[in-house]
Structure 1
Amino acid sequence: MALIITTDCINCDMCLPECPNTAISEGKKIYEIDPVRCTECVGFYDHPTCIAVCPIHCIEQHPSYYETKEALLVKFQALNIL
Structure 2
Amino acid sequence: MSFKLIASQCTSSSACEPLCPNVAMSVKAGNFAIEPKKCSECIVYFDEPQCVAVCPVENTSVIDTSVPRYQAPA
TM exceeding 0.5: yes
- Asked if 1:21 is matched to 2:25, the reply is no
Aligned residues between the structures = 72
CA distance in 2 between partners of 1:53 and 1:26 (Å): 17
Deviant stretches of 4+, over 6 Å: none
Higher helix share: 1
Q: Say what the alpha-carbon RMSD is for the aligned residues.
A: 1.4
Higher strand share: 2
- The aligned residue for residue 67 of structure 1 is 69
Q: What amino acid does structure 1 have at the position aligned with 2:69?
A: E
- The aligned residue for residue 2 of structure 1 is 2
Q: TM-score, normalised by structure 2?
A: 0.89
Q: What amino acid does structure 1 have at the position aligned with 2:41?
A: E
The alpha-carbon deviation at position 29 of structure 1 amounts to: 3.0
CA distance in 1 between partners of 2:65 and 2:30 (Å): 21
- The aligned residue for residue 46 of structure 2 is 45
**1:47 match: secondary structure:** coil
Q: TM-score, normalised by structure 1?
A: 0.81
User: Whose relative contact order is higher, 1 or 2, with alpha carbons under 8 Å and at least 6 apart?
Assistant: 2
Q: Which runs of 5+ in 1 are unaligned?
A: 78-82
Q: What amino acid does structure 1 have at the position aligned with 2:67?
A: Y
